[in-house]
Structure 1
Amino acid sequence: MSFSIALTGINAATADLDTISNNIANSNTVGFKGSRAEFADLYAAQGIGISTNTIGSGVQVASINQIFSQGALNFTGNPLDLAINGEGFFRLNDNGSIVYTRAGIFGLDAEGFIVNSEGQRLTGFQADASGQVGNVIGDLQIPTDDMAPSATSKVDAVLNLDATAAEPAVTPFDPADPQSYNYSTAVTLYDSLGISHTLTLYFVKTANANEWELHATVDGTD
Structure 2
Amino acid sequence: MDAVIKKLMPKSENLERPSTDRPSQDEVEAAVRTLLRWTGDNPDREGLVDTPRRVAKAYREMFGGYDMNPAEELGRTFEEVAGYDDLVIVRDIQFHSHCEHHMVPIIGKAHVGYLPDGKVVGLSKIARVVDIFAHRLQTQEAMTAQIAGVIQDVLNPRGVAVMIEAEHMCMAMRGIRKQGSSTLTSTFTGVFRDTPEEQVRFVTMVRAGV
- What TM-score results when the alignment is normalised by the length of structure 2? 0.22
Over alpha carbons, which structure has the higher Rg?
A: 1
**The structure with more helix, counted as a fraction of residues:** 2
**The structure with more strand, counted as a fraction of residues:** 1
Question: Higher relative CO (CA 8 A, sep ≥ 6), structure 1 or 2?
Answer: 2
- What TM-score results when the alignment is normalised by the length of structure 1? 0.22
